[in-house]
Structure 1
Amino acid sequence: MAFRWRDNSIKILALFMALLLWVYVTNEQNPLMSRNYHIPLAVQGKPEGYVISGLPEKVHIRVQGPRTIGSALGAGDFTAQVNLMGVAEGEWELPVQVTTPPGVELLQVTPRTVKVLTDRITQKNVPVTLNFKGRVAQGLQRGDPVLEPPVVTLHGPSKLLAEINRVGVTVDVSGAEDTLVRDVALQTGVKGVTVSPGRVSVTVPVTALPARELPVRINLTGAPGEGYEVGEILVQPALVWVTGPRQVIENLAEVQSLKVDISGATEDVAREVVLVLPDGATSVKPDRVHITLPIVPQETEPPQPPEEEENTEDAGE
């Protein structure tokens, strides 16, 4: 049957106009609208025994849909995820997959891909090192500390553990007068790395320094007046106690005083003199002595009688 254009042209035109009218009314009554959302980024297929870094917490999306649908949507109606299935140690660039409700078109995802760094979680044994703050009380010495345990185990990404060779702790010994026992928390200072055990016991012996009794030597400078000299010096006390590390005081033979100037003296000198603390020693007691310096006239030798000449002639007869 032949198509009758003349008879059906009006019908076709009417249908076309109706379609245009429907599109117009639909867009006017329920137009398309775009919206922006920040949605959480989920991880799928995370491999066991690995730590993942580089993933943002949220991604930004821009979507478009009819107003009647878009006005009822929230961020919870969308999902964004990264699939880590099959990844191994290293750096990966993976796409962000976004799911939208029916009737909503995804226009933009930021970021569209993410760079992910995966590192194997491992462990490593390292020693504990001790740092001291302050000094023990005067006259005492700090002995070798004892750590329990001396070695701890670190847990974390292998690349981070490779940069850690020890775990340090600090103990304050300021003014300590007896042996110290402290329970100290351990921290690596590196995010993502833990230490086991988390605390260490520190014992720091505090004992008396060795002491030694040594003679005092008065350090004189200058010379007495003409015709005078220094007699036997009297020092009270003649011996003093020097305290310090054993290797220091064992090498000392005496304790010197500050300089005593006797230039031009013609009479006895009596005064209190401060003692010099030997290098490396911690104390000298007492730290000063009283001295008496006799200034006496110099002794002169009596003239010798002339020698008698022998009478050689008489001796010959």
Structure 2
Amino acid sequence: MIATFRSLIQHNLAAKILALLVALILWGYVMNDQNPSIDGSFTVQLTMKNVPDGYKVVQSADTLKVRVRGPRSLFVNNDGSDFTAYVDLKDAQKGKNVCKVQIVAPQGFEVVEAKPDTVEVTLDPIVSKQVRADIYVNGSPAPGVTVAKVSQSSPEVSVEGPESAVNEVARVIGYVGLNGKNDSDFDLQVPLTAINADGREVQGVTVSPSAMYVSLQMARGLLKKIVAIQPLTGDDLSKDYELTGVRVDPAKIEIAGKNSVISGISSIETEKVSLADVTRNTDKTVKLILPDGVTVTNHDVVVHITVRARKNE
């Protein structure tokens, strides 16, 4: 049996070897002609690995273009979702990091190029801080009625988010609207918004609580009067600067109270404004110092402070 099989193999061996070589050549020719190696590109989603806890991740790119080379048939059977592109943040530090993109391609593909091949990844730690909460009253109550007192559940709230955004928050504000029909005391929940020193809303932070319980006491029979506002500043300005101007907005305000109380009042002072941190023209929101028996709709005003550097003598 074995001898017969050996004889079968060895019979016309040279012709058989030649036929095999021709078959391999033809197969290679057909494969190269019908399924040649070509270049192509895929858009691949970029992912992050080993993201540290307690950070917000901001990346300069979410996708990248990957140019690859491979048999034509692979381009028919694969798309961008079959590729993996990632950045390993295991050794990344707080702040900006320039990271190499790693690419895993399906079998049979050769990665020729990736754009971009590096991305900038910023790790922004999640932090929180306490900030002042200010409640403003807009509109007018019913005729003959004035706002006697505005009470809020807490003078401060917590703001949480990426450190860069939280550092921008100066305070939170809420608004109470009077509609001309308010003639008695009332309570409500006031939504709060985080703002920066310029009065613009700060995005990407969470205010906790998101709304504050506010109580308004209304009063009848009080007289009203317009008086000037006098800003008070501290004497703690750096010796490298000199104070060139202080202006308050609004310059005047309407106060309310019994005639015996407000008749002798011509101006209302602000709380003392510290200048210790002032190195350029600055706006600061401060509260009014109200005598007993005097009420105002809004207790906060903005003090505009202008300074200039002292010249070396």
Into which bin does the TM-score normalised by the smaller protein fall? Answer: 0.5 to 0.7
TM, length-normalised to structure 2: 0.60
CA distance in 2, matches of 1:47, 1:181: 44
Q: Which structure 2 residues correspond to residues 1-317 of structure 1 after superposition, within 5 A?
A: 23-175=28-180, 176-188=182-194, 189-210=201-222, 245-246=257-258, 251=263
Mind listing any 5+ residue stretches in structure 2 that lack a counterpart?
1-18, 195-200, 225-255, 265-313
The alpha carbon displacement at 1:55 in A equals 4.2
Q: Which has the higher strand share?
A: 2
Contact (CA 8 Å) 1:123, 1:156: kept in 2 or not? Answer: yes
In structure 1, distance between residues paired with 2:96 and 2:114: 21
Distance in 1 (CA, whole Å) between partners of 2:102 and 2:76 is: 23
Give the whole-Å Cα distance in 2 for the aligned partners of 1:171 and 1:68. Answer: 67
Question: 1:19 Cα deviation (Å)?
Answer: 7.8
Q: Tell whether the 8 Å contact from 2:55 to 2:123 is kept in structure 1 after alignment.
A: yes
Aligned amino acid, residue 119 of structure 2: V
Asked whether the equivalents of residues 30 and 66 of structure 1 are also in contact (C-alpha less than 8 Å), the reply is yes
Aligned to 1:268: none
Q: Which runs of 5+ in 1 are unaligned?
A: 1-13, 213-243, 253-317
Scaled by the length of structure 1, the TM-score of the pair is 0.59
Distance across 2 between alignment mates of 1:249 and 1:50:
55
**Do the aligned partners of 2:165 and 2:203 also contact (CA within 8 Å) in 1?**
no
Considering only CA atoms, is the larger Rg found in Structure 1 or Structure 2? 1
Read off the aligned partner of 2:217 and give its amino acid letter: P
The question of whether the paired residues in 2 share the 8 Å contact of 1:36 and 1:60 is answered with yes
Per the alignment, do residues 248 and 33 of structure 1 end up closer, same or farther by CA in structure 2, a change over 3 Å counting? farther
Q: Among the aligned pairs, what percent are the same residue? A: 30
Q: Distance in 2 between matches of 1:198 and 1:250?
A: 37
What SS does structure 2 have at the residue aligned with 1:137? coil
Taking a change above 3 Å as real, the CA distance of residues 127 and 250 of structure 1, as seen in their structure-2 partners, is: closer
Displacement of 1:250:
5.4
3-state secondary structure, aligned to 1:68: helix
Secondary structure of the residue that 2:81 maps to in structure 1? Answer: helix
1:135 to partner: Cα distance: 1.1
Q: CA deviation at 1:110?
A: 1.8
Secondary structure of the equivalent of 1:143?
A: strand
Task: Decide whether aligned partners of structure 1 residues 250 and 162 sit closer, same or farther in structure 2, where only a CA change above 3 A counts.
Answer: closer
Deviation at 1:205, TM superposition (A): 1.1
Shift in Å, 1:184? 1.8
Any idea what SS the aligned residue of 1:123 has? Answer: strand
Cα distance in structure 1, aligned partners of 2:260 and 2:111: 82
Distance verdict in 2 for CA 1:169–1:248, change over 3 Å? farther
Number of aligned residue pairs = 210
- Distance in 2, matches of 1:246 and 1:127, equals 31
Task: Provide the aligned C-alpha RMSD in A.
Answer: 2.9
Give distance in 1, aligned partners of 2:92 and 2:72. Answer: 41
1:238-274 deviations in Å (ceiling 9; x for gaps): xxxxxx643688539xxxxxxxxxxxxxxxxxxxxxx
- Tell me if structure 1 keeps the 8 A contact 2:46–2:63: yes
Q: State the Cα distance separating 1:172 from its structure 2 match.
A: 0.1
Contact 1:211–1:249 (CA under 8 A) maintained in structure 2: no
Query: Equivalent residue of 1:160, what SS?
Result: helix
State the distance in 1 between where 2:20 and 2:69 align. 29
